[in-house]
Structures are given as C-alpha cells and as structure tokens.
C-alpha cells in the first residue's frame, strides 16, 4: 500500500510531518525545485488595499449565479457536457 507524506530535508536529515505505522520499508525522496526558493513575501498593506479598491464591486454579489458561472467555466475548460 502506497502512502504519501510530506517532510523537510535539512542538514542531511529528512523529517516527516507525521509518524507512520510502517517500519523498514523502501522510500523515495523527491526534491522539488521550488523548495529551494525563498518564501513568497507578503504584499504591503497599501498595495493590497489599492488592488482591492480597484476591483471592489466588479462582481454584483446580489445577481451572481454561481451555478451558471461554474457551468460556463467547465464548458469553456472541458467542452459541453451531455
């Protein structure tokens, strides 16, 4: 049975995010390239407020049809569904 668990590699040691109920099993470790990048920095509050102000009211929440929007999205992405 395959079980996936995330973890971190630091100073030659792999630490898993949780304990597993297995012992003495083969494993495969994959190093993701994005893990080496610096973490994303937070957007300054002033910039976030400027963007929010720019797009505020762009969707009329009272008249927004979620089901229709979802159907349009899936039709556009995957084609019409019979």
pTM of the predicted structure, to 2 decimals: 0.35
Domain boundaries, the chain: 7-78
Q: Are strands 13-16 and 7-10 parallel, antiparallel or unpaired?
A: antiparallel
CA angle 37, 47, 59 (to 5 degrees): 105
Q: What is the pLDDT of residues 68-77, one digit of tens each?
A: 888 887 777 7
Chain centre distance of CA 65 = 25
26-37 confidence digits (pLDDT tens): 888 888 776 555
Cα Rg for the chain, rounded, in angstroms? 22
Separation CA 82–CA 6 (nearest Å): 39
Separation of alpha carbons 27 and 7, rounded Å: 12
């Amino acid at each position: 049975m395959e079980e996936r668990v995330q973890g971190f590699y630091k100073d030659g040691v792999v630490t898993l995010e949780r304990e597993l109920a297995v012992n003495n099993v083969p494993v495969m470790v994959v190093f993701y390239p994005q893990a080496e990048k610096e973490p994303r920095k937070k957007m300054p509050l002033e910039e976030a407020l400027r963007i929010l102000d720019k797009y505020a009211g762009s969707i009329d929440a009272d008249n927004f049809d979620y089901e229709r929007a979802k159907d349009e999205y899936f039709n556009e992405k995957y084609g019409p569904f019979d």
